[in-house]
Structure 1
């Protein structure tokens, strides 16, 4: 092995040849000891256009392929690899040049190889068949020229240098890429963690560019709106069904001007469901302070708004109930003298024509009183007594009201058999329920149509009952109310009995009619079935438990002949602030054998009672009066005489009156408007027994 001094790893050359004189030839050409490399630098300058430098190659030599391979390995271990090698093609007795090259490339794949041969039978095709030379091998024919050797040495060592430099740059670039990739991974991980935190939020969070295109869309936004992030990102927010475009535009302008905006927006989901969101917008800026995007946080308040609306409607209904109670009290006070006057007039009237007029007035007054009771029942939730009810009479009454009050383009017909079974229930509530169903049918026919009311007896067996939710076997009264209106899709049918649910325009319905009807049906242990299709009308079937045999009380109309009991000079203290009620009640009592002390309020009554308490047999007092109301008056009178007999009267609901009177210690009650017959019977009952109550 021949080794020269090491100057530059990129110019190290290995010569492998079994002829040592060849080693010397290469050394003389590539690393002459007596010159400074002028010829070499001249050749390099001519080839590459560089400035001439005094520079020679470092040449090492080996006689066999095995020895050359060891030198390549050692040079690589020392970090001074050879740039190229001149390898003789035949080097007996060891490896030939082809095998040596193959072995070297396994250790150092980038080494440039020049195969030197003096044999004509060693061709490029032969080399290619034994080894894939690629661009790392050249063939040099012996004998070779000095310039040819120099050109190969300069070119291939420069190529090796550039290749190694390129690899170093690639390694540096790869290192930079790995570092940047690592930084991006950390950044992405942080962004993922932040996004995960945003996904945990129950609010719909999105980020939009200044052009209102979505750039971020969290999981809650997906759940709320139905659009996936992939569907939403890149789209304009207005494409995602903002309802109020004017308000949306105002919000955009406000957030750009002030940096923030908050308010309520009406929106629509992907499937068309309407939403109300509480929106909070914040303008995001870049590091230079320029607007970059808008952060949007939307909270779904649809249910809250719905509950608030229901609360407001409930408050309005409560206010309406209070107002209705006051109106009912005044109406009852107005109806009382009318109804009592009619009875007094009928006692002294013989003319049939005038009697007919009085009967008409009396029926109208009774109907008005019944309407007042229905108003009180609806507004206060009053429960009447459960009695045997002949539904036929109620249905005819409902038909009459509907025919008289509904638009003339709505025709009402009935099919009511005479042998209907009776039900045990509250007539007022059942009447209200049936009327509600008819009103619902009317509202479904804005252009007119037909309402058909049918009733029948039905024996429901166990098999049929098992197929109907809430049904039990037994006898039922079936009432069917069918209309030819607009009908309803299944999703609406599923919700019609929800309180406050309505398909009418805002302000045109409370959403309580059907829900209150259902409550009444359930309170009577009944159930209801609904069938409807769009444009094909609706049919409501009400099932009420029934008694299979009619009773005389339920099947017959009450007798018209009143029973008028007379007094025997008993003194009645009559207390009422309504002058008309006070006068006609006094006249009625005096006409039937009673004496009367009238008082306009509790103060006057207290004075009169203190003077005449030993003569007064009974006190009839209104519960609602100015100055001193009924309960206060009762307490004063009972302090004067704990045994005083008092009848409390009120135009409010029986339940309210009973509660107030009972708390004051009264046992006898009479609701307004009362008739002469009712009043006289009540007085007779109280005077005959001090312990018998009216109810």
Structure 2
């Protein structure tokens, strides 16, 4: 988090003109490097001169001249970055460092110059990260030629002195060449991966932005041509599908952008790779939300289950951290006697993201957003979402849940985010209200029916979980088996439907859980759950697939997980299904009843 004292300096560093976000991000770090060199080198020389007992030698005057050249190049580079010429400043600075190296190495030779490799490393790293792969390899070749020329100077000096083995002057060329080759190869791979991922993300962003523009144009055309009755029909037809996609994909893009901004904090390849992993994880989360949004238009059945708000909000907080600015304060507090509700977990996350996105747009970057969960009267749970943004007047507050109502400029919002939240809450027998005052922030209150859990049911410790794992992809089955065994499962594997049915019959009295794909090649997906239920009528089933028939939502003690999914997601969903089964929260026909609620 940036302190108030440093914020002006940070804003100044980031105020680089241009439309290339990558170049502007590189410019921030490059400015810091050049300013540091431009300040420290002039301070070092007075100290060196004062410490020397003898007059400056020719080599000392040469060092002073080359350092002066590098300092001038650094300050000129800062000035060029302030005008938006990041690559030009990089080329000038690298050229100055290389010229300094050429002068020093030809004067002193390779052996006397090996102690300080700063300029060599900086030239290669800056060239690769900012100028690209071709520049990286050209710089590597230049450095090797420089080492060779400096080694030649050493060889000639040894020969002139009558040394018995003058070629010893070149003994360090090959080790240096191999060392810098390893560095160059690592940088080349990291730069290639990073630039490819950024290009893919930019292309996806362009396609999504174009989709948003098309959707917003359609919504605007409806607003101009329809009366209130037609407007209500549009809410049903467009608002639940097109509007939801347009609004919530902006939220997911914000999460991806938050991970991608890690590149501004460090040029370390490991940090950049970690940021790319975060982008990939956010993209998978976006795919899950997209799938759920599309299900609204297809009238898919909601997957209602008992949710532990304390655990759920802890997980959602990590997503919110990427949605907001790094300087935003996030707070989550859940009362122990208001932890459990019955809701669709994906819809709950979608609802929170919509509320948080509206709060983010109303706040300063260093604002605060708090979620508080407390018990309410009538056996309900109250969730309060508060921000300290600019608030809203009464005229806006009264219409905030109306579909297509927005105070944002044209092409900046669809006005459907809070309308979707309103529909989700009312569809689960809940209530929603908003309190706001201009200049004092906004609080959204949501009340939902509470679920009372038996005492001591939070953690259900027990012996090994006997699990039947059914998957026809060998590599995937092996990976899941190892992950499950690490979490305390005793796993029996099956690679086909026939094997799975045989094992289910033989182990019916020992199994605690079945994890199965829906499509196994030799089975009938539409009736696969019923086939397993013949031998395992009461054992919880976790079905993992990319497509599910509607009947599966009505099956007893069945959980679903969409592919693709990570081993962590598999373990988490299996634990949630086991918890629900052991607690006895949903039994028999109660599951089918809950699955029909929306």
Q: TM-score range by the shorter chain?
A: 0.3 to 0.5
Which has the larger share of strand?
1
Bigger CA radius of gyration: 1
| Higher RCO (C-alpha 8 Å, min separation 6) | 2
Q: Which has the higher helix share?
A: 2
TM-score (norm: length of structure 1):
0.34
